[in-house]
Structure 1
Amino acid sequence: MAVIKIRKTGEIIKGEENVLRFLEKQGVLYEHWDINKLPDRLKEKFVLTDGEKEEILATFKEEIENLAARRGYKAWDVVALSDATPNLDELLKKFEQVHIHTEDEVRAIIAGHGIFIIKGDEQTGYFDVELEAGDVISVPEGNPHFFTLMEDRQVVAVRLFIDPSGWVAHPYEEKEEVIK
């Protein structure tokens, strides 16, 4: 289950209902998929063939199509990152900059861990959402955020898009240093 850490206050929010309620208030979609559907041989595998990526998409076809129908997503893929990923540190440097998109940024974590740092409302400020297998999140278009890996540096995620060709990160600069 996802865990939220509010940077301003140090408050930690746990439990699916509490996480869901907090993220809903911030305009962020959160769901949880049954990761037990995934074949055991893929549950902790972070270097995937194209065939294994297709198998993941087929395993979660119903969930993906349901989310896509509700939110207007038209394409999806699987991304796998780990220390075996070429140029991982360079990729992470790109991810670890606050940015916005002209569409939602959606991740369904299939294996490993990831963390979104999201700008909340004025009272809340930035908060971290630590995600694990089964967690699904959609950061709304125009909402400042960034995504990175956690200490284990490995994640497999399904990404959903309205238009993957137009899915570009646009830098976002704060007026003051508030995210660290």
Structure 2
Amino acid sequence: MAVIRVRNNGEIIEGQENVHAFLEEQGVFFERWDTAKLPEHLVEKFDLSDTDKAEILKVYDQDIRSLAKRRGYVNWDVIALSDQTPNIEELLKKFEQVHTHTDDEVRIITAGHGIFIVKGDGETGYFNIELEAGDVISVPEHTPHFFTLMDDRQVVAVRLFIDTDGWVAHPYEEKEHQI
């Protein structure tokens, strides 16, 4: 279950209802999916073949299509990141730069953990959304954010796109250092 850490005041928000309410206030879509349907051999596997990725998409096909229909997504894929990922440090440096997109950035975490750092409203400022398997999140278009890994440095996520070319990151320059 996701946990929120508000950076400017240290507040920690836990529990599905509280997390959902906070994220809804900030315009961030959040829901939970059943992870029990994922086959055991994929639960803690972070070095995925194309066959593994296709199996994950098949397992969650009905859920993905429902979300896509509700929110206008037209394309999806699976990404796996871990210390086994070639050039992981370079990828993380690219992900860890604050940026925006012209469409939503969506992740369905199917294994492992990840963190979205999102710029909220003026009073809230930046907050961390610590995600785990089963968490579904959509950071709205034009919202400054970045993604990184937690200490275990392992995540598998389904990504959904509105634009068939995927996301284009637009660098975001903070007027004041607030991260």
TM-score (norm 2): 0.99
Q: Equivalences for 1:50-65 in 2 at 5 Å?
A: 50-65=50-65
Which residue number corresponds to residue 13 of structure 2? Answer: 13
Q: Which amino acid aligns with 1:50?
A: D
SS at match of 2:36: helix
Cα separation, 2, equivalents of 1:28 and 1:75? 20
Q: CA deviation at 1:127?
A: 0.2
Which residue number corresponds to residue 66 of structure 2? Answer: 66
SS at match of 1:109: strand
For 1:134-180, what per-residue CA distance to the aligned partner results, in whole angstroms no more than 9, with x for missing partners? 0000000000000010101110000000114151100001101100x
- After superposing on structure 2, the runs of 4+ consecutive aligned residues of structure 1 that deviate more than 6 Å are none
Q: Classify 1:173/1:13 alpha carbon distance in 2 versus 1 (closer, same or farther; 3 Å).
A: same
Which residue number corresponds to residue 44 of structure 1? Answer: 44
Q: Which amino acid aligns with 2:32?
A: H
The share of aligned pairs that are identical, in percent, is 70
Gaps of 5+ in 1: none
Cα separation, 1, equivalents of 2:5 and 2:135? 16
SS at match of 1:35: coil
TM-score (norm 1): 0.98
For 1:106-127, what per-residue CA distance to the aligned partner results, in whole angstroms no more than 9, with x for missing partners? 0000000000000000010000
Cα separation, 2, equivalents of 1:127 and 1:162? 25
Q: Which amino acid aligns with 2:47?
A: V
Which residue number corresponds to residue 91 of structure 1? Answer: 91
Which residue number corresponds to residue 125 of structure 1? Answer: 125
Q: Classify 1:150/1:174 alpha carbon distance in 2 versus 1 (closer, same or farther; 3 Å).
A: same
Which residue number corresponds to residue 167 of structure 1? Answer: 167
Gaps of 5+ in 2: none
Q: Which amino acid aligns with 1:124?
A: T
Q: Which amino acid aligns with 1:122?
A: G
Query: How many residue pairs are counted as aligned between the two chains?
Result: 179
Deviates more, 1:161-170 or 1:132-141: 161-170
